[in-house]
Chain A
């Protein structure tokens, strides 16, 4: 039951983009077209879930066992960067069609605050192994949800007349604000 709570919380109640403000760069940058938004979302979900697993292992078997908590940030970022590198190479070799669809987004994901945030949070909240996997997956799904909705809205916005100062990132941010307002409605969801 806790797993379900963790999942729902990560997807809507504490949405990574709209509540925690992570993953904004790709959120603004890749939300122009619906299909690229979806591809980015799927890539992010995949990497987040993997990251959860690997950083959990690192936290518990290296940082804690060897009593070097101060290496946390360096260890996480190195692991994440390497993970993304391997994933990219792996997909390129085994599923070239998938690589064509998702591949270009993978390097972008490395410096994505959202991935590091997943690692940081699961350590901060002392999640168990299974819990952290569910958390990583949920965070990715939440990100995908936000970016896909945003892409849908922006595709419509393309057709309207936006005042010059607002064009570009500004209107996207304002739209995100309205979206965030809507998502706040979820905050009461888990008080049974």
Chain B
């Protein structure tokens, strides 16, 4: 009996130690991968920029990046939004123009949607619909008809309305706030000068 307990406990302790060690060994690379994926997504929002640099704004409530190109010109902003999709959380990056008046891009950073259906939120045609939309007006979707971008409409993915709605609900609930936060932050920076 005592032997059983000793063996079991030793195995568990050993396992814990091995894994703790492995974690410290592998985590740096795992974090580096995440960082690189983020950089790639951020750069994809501003494809025409040469060597864009991104700095995260010191805003606690949301993850917002300020993008500048090689010459220091302000490119715009990228807002990180997480929303609840069909198969799990969807992580998005929304690009905003420098004057905060237009959406300039949408990237899907991570999702667990169904391949061939909900996962098509990452398709070019779907993401490109967001370019030029007004970030301060609610974005709605239409099915089986041509969306009117003047009315801030996009076309839903047929057969994946839930994933579409998830993306929109994430956007609509967060973008407006992001814009205000950015304005407040740059207002502060102005007044600090």
Contacts and interface: CB of A to CB of B under 8 A. Distances in A.
**Direct chain A–B contact by Cβ atoms under 8 Å:** yes
Interface of A: 14, 68, 70-71, 74, 78, 124-126, 187-188, 190-192
Contacts of B88: 124-125
Contact of B20 (A68, A124, A125, A192): A68
Given A70-B23, A187-B159, A188-B159, A126 B16 contact: no
Nearest to B22: A70
Contact of A191 (B20, B89, B112, B162): B162
Contact of B112 (A124, A187, A190, A192): A124
A190 B161 CA distance: 9
Contacts of B162: 190-191
A124 B160 CA distance: 21
Contacts of B114: 187
22 contacts: A68-B20, A70-B19, A70-B20, A70-B22, A71-B16, A71-B19, A74-B12, A124-B88, A125-B87, A125-B89, A125-B112, A126-B89, A187-B114, A187-B117, A188-B159, A190-B86, A190-B162, A191-B159, A191-B160, A191-B161, A191-B162, A192-B161
B96 to A, nearest CB: 27
Contacts of A70: 19-20, 22-23
B141 to A, nearest CB: 11
A125 B82 CA distance: 12
Interface string B1-12: 000000000001
